[in-house]
Amino acid sequence: MMQRAMRVTVPSLFLLMILLVGCERTFESNDPVRSLPDRPAAPVNFQVAYNDQSVTLSWELADSTEVSRFRVYRADFVSDMTPLEYSPIDSTTTYSKVIEDLPFNRTVYLRVTAVNAANLESEPSRELPVIVGLLSIAINNNDEYTNSRNVGVHANAPNGAEYVSLSEDSLFEGTLAQDFQDELPFTLSTGDGLKTVYARFTFEDGFESGVLIFDRITLDQAARIDSVYYTPSGVTFATGDTIRFFMAAGEIAGEASIAFPGVSQVLLSDDGVGADASSDDSIYSAWYVVPVGLTVNNGQLTGQFTDAANNTAMQAVAAVPLDIKAPPLPVQLTAVTALSNFEISLQWSEATSGDFSHYSIYRDISGSVSDASDLVENISERTGTTCVDTLLDAATEYFFRVYVVDNSGLLTGSNIDSAITEVNTSPTAVTAAATLSDSTTAYLSWTQNNDNDFASYRIYHSTSPGVTITDDLIAILSDRSTVGYSDYVPFPTGSESYYYRIFVLDRQGLSTSSNEVSVSR
């Protein structure tokens, strides 16, 4: 109960006796009688409205024409036997005032006076005892979500609170007040969404809370999963591959996860970190790196979701099943040997994986050989475990790796090995001969070149001796066994002879000239 102090005053009879027994002497004065200015009337209808940790005072005045301001006074209650001692604490020119910084849960008395332009002060208004404190409500201990319409409301109010009204209508129309209690039941309106519950407190002195006291909570009675999926979709994954899993749930702040054969849970997030591109967009995601030894064949990808209100959604299944295969076992590259200035031979162990498709041999001029390096050859026979690379430069180190590829396109690389091609030397020269088979035909012959890097014979002729590669090229022969050639020789006016040389060209572009031969008419 709110305490009200008993004010100790001096009896008016005692004061009258003092006046009667006082000095009876009189004084004569020639000054004219002057009347004192009137004090303003005291404020009336003085009321208080309770706020959270403050109060709002209001009052009225019958005649405000002579009033310039109002003074607010406060007195602290000490005991029933101690007189109230009022002190001014604030002033205002309006008819209301918010008073803050009052002690919590202690009775204080407030009153107000009117002051006119002559600084004369009215009698005080009636005094009001007030108790200031926390004035608030909390739904379900300040939870943000609830999955039930039936909630609990915790009410905070200072001593003296007698009734409380709860409603989702800020005007409280049709709402009945109930006895004040710290814990109150309340039923939220139907339909999911943000709910606001308002509270109005009534105190023992009949005054009410002056500001809207409210709390909010989101009613959410169901969870759902819109879709579960992964990217890249429809591919077969292998050890070390990264999969990005997604769930579209339709609401934020929930707990999402996916599961598939061999993996019981992969947690997804909606925080804008890592795999999640944007926070709080109700799309949950996570990266997943396939570990060694995990295989999934046409596996069902299942999503689970519990929302912030603790509703559990029905599980959802991805439209595209998940495939994770173990890559084929690697082979061992056992020999890499330089055969010439343009050839290197390779040999490796035979593949043992049952799902064998082919070997892919790659080369690089650096030690980091991968399936992005230069492809040398694909060999589809499991027993085809040798290869000769013949498109190489002389005196160059080449690195090789053999990949085993299965029928799903998964591949595993062997060890990396290298060899250096031999240094190139000029081709071996051939020995040429020439005869005139008829009056306009020269027949050339030469010895065969047997160099392993043979590329071609090139035949040049001129009507002057000293044939070089700047003279007329009359034939290119890439078959080393071709060691004869017929040339038409019209013998132009003034020319009695044709001169010839056969140049041997190797794969690296080096050439060697034969002896020079000629025919004459």
Contact 521, 481 (CB under 8 A): no
Residue 5 lies in a domain: no
Residue 9 lies in a domain: no
Domain final position from 202, 219, 236: 219
- The answer, yes or no, to whether residue 27 has pLDDT greater than 60, is no
Decide: helix, strand or coil at residue 319: coil
Q: What b-and-e string marks burial along 302-338, b requiring 16 or more CB atoms within 10 Å of the CB?
A: bbbbebbbebebeebebeeebbbbbbbebbebeebeb
Q: CA torsion, points 487, 493, 499, 500, in degrees to nearest 10?
A: -30
Domain final position from 192, 219, 246: 219
Same domain, 68 and 120: yes
CA distances for 409 relative to 217, 248, 363, 404, 406, angstroms: 54, 31, 20, 10, 5
Same domain, 242 and 313: yes
Domain final position from 269, 302, 324: 324
Structure tokens at 291: 């570990």
Across the range 19-35, mean pLDDT stands at 47
Same domain, 414 and 446: no
Same domain, 503 and 469: yes
Q: Which of 9-23, 401-415, 421-435, 436-450 has the least mean pLDDT?
A: 9-23
Contact 298, 319 (CB under 8 A): no
pLDDT of residue 30: 55
Same domain, 265 and 349: no
| Averaged confidence pLDDT in the chain | 90
Domain with 501 in it: 432-520
Same domain, 178 and 96: no
CATH label of the domain that carries residue 253: 2.60.40.770
- The answer, yes or no, to whether residue 487 has pLDDT greater than 50, is yes
Residue 257 lies in a domain: yes
- The answer, yes or no, to whether residue 37 has pLDDT greater than 90, is no
Residue 35 lies in a domain: no
159, 228, 203: which is closest to 49 by C-alpha? Answer: 203
Same domain, 238 and 183: no
Same domain, 236 and 309: yes
Number of domains in the chain: 5
For tokens 């598939």, the residue is 260
pLDDT confidence tier of residue 104, bands split at 50, 70 and 90: confident
Residue 486 lies in a domain: yes
Structure tokens at 67: 């009033």
Residue 7 lies in a domain: no
CATH label of the domain that carries residue 451: 2.60.40.10
pLDDT confidence tier of residue 63, bands split at 50, 70 and 90: confident
Q: What is the pLDDT of residues 226-270, one digit of tens each?
A: 999 999 998 989 888 999 999 999 999 999 999 999 999 999 999
- The answer, yes or no, to whether residue 15 has pLDDT greater than 80, is no
CA distance 55 to 489: 127
% of the chain residues with pLDDT over 90: 77
Across the range 444-451, mean pLDDT stands at 96
DSSP string, 349-405: PPP--TTEEEEEEEEESSS---TTSEEEEEE--TT--EEEE----TT-EEEEEEEEE
Same domain, 231 and 319: yes
pLDDT of residue 38: 83
Q: What is the pLDDT of residues 294-350, one digit of tens each?
A: 999 999 999 999 999 999 999 999 999 999 988 899 999 999 999 999 999 999 999
Same domain, 125 and 142: no
Q: Which residues contact 308 (CB under 8 A, 6 or more apart)?
A: 144, 145, 218, 220, 251, 252, 253, 254
pLDDT of residue 409: 86
Same domain, 70 and 140: no
Residue 25 lies in a domain: no
Residue 192 lies in a domain: yes
Structure tokens at 385: 């475990």
Same domain, 267 and 316: yes
pTM of the model: 0.57
pLDDT confidence tier of residue 381, bands split at 50, 70 and 90: very high
Q: What is the pLDDT of residues 264-274, one digit of tens each?
A: 999 999 999 99
125, 157, 124, 113: which is closest to 2 by C-alpha? Answer: 157
pLDDT of residue 32: 54
pLDDT of residue 62: 85
